[in-house]
Amino acid sequence: MKKTLLFSSLAFVLFYNFVFFEKSYAIFADIPFMISLGVTLFFFIALLQTIFYSKYTFKPFLIYLFITGSLSLYFMKKYGVIIDDKMVQNIFETDFSEASGLFNFEVLGYFLLLGLLPSVIIYKLKINYLTFKQNIIFKLKYIPLLLLLIVANVYLFSKAYTSFFREYKPLRYYTNPTYPLYGLGKFIKRKYFTKKLEFKKIGEDAKLLPKEGKPKLFIFVVGEAARADHFSLNGYKRDTNPTLKNDSEITSFKNFYSCGTETAVSVPCMFSVLTRKKYKDSKAKHISSLIDVLDYAGVRTLWIDNNSDSKGVATRIKNYKNIKGSCNGECRDFKMLDGLDKFVKTPKTTFIVLHQMGSHGPEYYKRYDKIYEKFKPTCKTNQLNNCTKESITNAYDNTIVATDAFLTKVKEFLKQQQNRYKVALWYVADHGESLGEKGVYLHGLPYFIAPDAQKHPASIIWFGNDFGIKNEDMKRLEDKKLSQDYIFSSILDAMDVNTSLYDEELDLFSPLL
């Protein structure tokens, strides 16, 4: 049994994965890393077989792997098609005439040699199965061991694996027969185990309280991957805030924490009534966001995106603009300010979100213009494993210098509007970023194991003199432990919106704090 398990795992790595190795080698061109990828894949396939090992499941499981493995290899090689959940769905839902359209002698060759032949061998093989008790012991012994071997192997090449998992995600689609198996699992989950949630409006009771004088104009900047400890405002030894450091009106929150470690979690969470502890992606996406609630209250809202999109936060409001693709090459964040003066021409209570490209990695060097290249030399590739830690940090720090200039520009814009508006600016980065500490790069680690670098983003706030909130009061909160949980109710308060969703304990501007 163990021999079958080891030989079949080896066979899969050697004979069913040349597309995967070919594509990986084209990117990494690193033989030791290719060997490591093979070894990891071997352990992983062995692990799957160990999990599925029992008298009743071992043979059917292996036969399934050989059959799908042989076909998926053919389709990958010939058409570059990947057998994912959508393909599995196609396979289940297709009819004979469609399937026969794909038939030819070459696919038959793959199927006979790599699918049917090993399947027949497995079928005929006499296996001395373990008893139930032996099987439990076998699993308890080998599952942790294989997991440990995988972790150790990944750790040895952690830089390359970071690129592999984060930057070259599509590469793993070519691992065989693991990816088709994953596709099948995903298909089953989607088809049979996903509840369809209805969108539920919340905060429809929101009302804008009447206030004396000029209307308010609030700009909320969502930063990208900007870690607090790389801002000189927060004590970083390098001068990454050449402009803001001279600004005595602003407050930099030095102890501010994020909801998630990646954009797809942090951004919806920041604008959700749910706190980090209660946050669930599926739930948050099916209830009104802060932007919706402001909209219900009659606040004029606008979301401008230079990142990916609003992650479902601003999909229901009228004024949403994605500037990506509207520039020659990548748009600079400054571009989001174009035309803003027109938008705010008629005085009305207004809330604007600017979603930055900021410090999006790994190609930090692409995020800023030459004038912000303060630290050199910089890493000029997306393969961080080819760069020194210093050059990666240099490029990253230059993105902070660019953000410093961008925030200064946003503040200047608001100052120009002060004759007609009471103005405010709040910058909160979505999450932090790892820059090679303990071999970890980028972000997105599960919250409970993520280092502080990923969970501790920068946040800066400023109020115009007649806004009704004093900058000195904010300075008192400079060192207080705060988080993105405070955004929802603080903004409601600052915008004078009254709703039952408001929670005074999570309001930065409440005198209670």
Q: Which is nearer to Zn ion, 214 or 311 (CB)?
A: 311
Residue 485 sits in the site that holds Zn ion (CB under 5 A): no
Smallest gap, in angstroms, from Cβ of residue 402 to Zn ion? 16
Smallest gap, in angstroms, from Cβ of residue 330 to Zn ion? 16
Q: Which is nearer to Zn ion, 115 or 432 (CB)?
A: 432
Q: In angstroms, how far is CA 256 from the centroid of its own chain?
A: 19
Q: Which is nearer to Zn ion, 69 or 223 (CB)?
A: 223
Q: Output the CA–CA distances (angstroms, integers) from residue 233 to 242, 303, 358, 397, 401, in the order listed.
A: 9, 27, 17, 13, 12
Stretch that binds Zn ion, among 31-39, 257-265, 378-386, 404-412 (CB under 5 A): 257-265
Separation of alpha carbons 125 and 127, rounded Å: 6
Q: Which is nearer to Zn ion, 263 or 350 (CB)?
A: 263
Site string for Zn ion, 417-456 (x = CB under 5 A): -------------x--------------------------
Smallest gap, in angstroms, from Cβ of residue 249 to Zn ion? 27
Nearest residue to Zn ion, scored by beta-carbon proximity = 263
Q: Are 495 and 291 in contact (CB under 8 A)?
A: no
Smallest gap, in angstroms, from Cβ of residue 359 to Zn ion? 9
Stretch that binds Zn ion, among 258-266, 282-290, 367-375, 452-460 (CB under 5 A): 258-266
CA angle 137/141/145 to nearest 5° reads: 165
Count of C-beta atoms within a 10 Å radius of residue 56:
9
Smallest gap, in angstroms, from Cβ of residue 485 to Zn ion? 18
Q: Which is nearer to Zn ion, 307 or 350 (CB)?
A: 307
Stretch that binds Zn ion, among 147-155, 216-224, 295-303, 404-412 (CB under 5 A): 216-224
Q: Are 441 and 160 in contact (CB under 8 A)?
A: no
Stretch that binds Zn ion, among 56-64, 109-117, 263-271, 283-291 (CB under 5 A): 263-271
Among candidate residues 360, 352, 370, 375, the one with its CA nearest the CA of residue 429? 360
Q: Per residue, what are the HEC states of 428-451?
A: EECCCCEECHHHCEECCCCCCCCC
Helix intervals (H) in 361-451: 389-416
Tokens of 310: 């609003």
Separation of alpha carbons 442 and 361, rounded Å: 7
Q: What is the DSSP code (8-state) at residue 273?
A: S
Secondary structure (DSSP) of 35-89? HHHHHHHHHHHHHHHHHT-STTTHHHHHHHHHHHHHHHHHHHHHH-----HHHHH
Place of tokens 């004038």: 371
Stretch that binds Zn ion, among 180-188, 223-231, 330-338, 486-494 (CB under 5 A): 223-231
Q: Using CB under 5 A, count the residues that bind Zn ion.
A: 3
Q: Which is nearer to Zn ion, 214 or 360 (CB)?
A: 360
Smallest gap, in angstroms, from Cβ of residue 222 to Zn ion? 9
Q: Which of 263, 289, 459, 499 binds Zn ion (CB under 5 A)?
A: 263
List interacting residues with Zn ion (CB under 5 A): 224, 263, 430
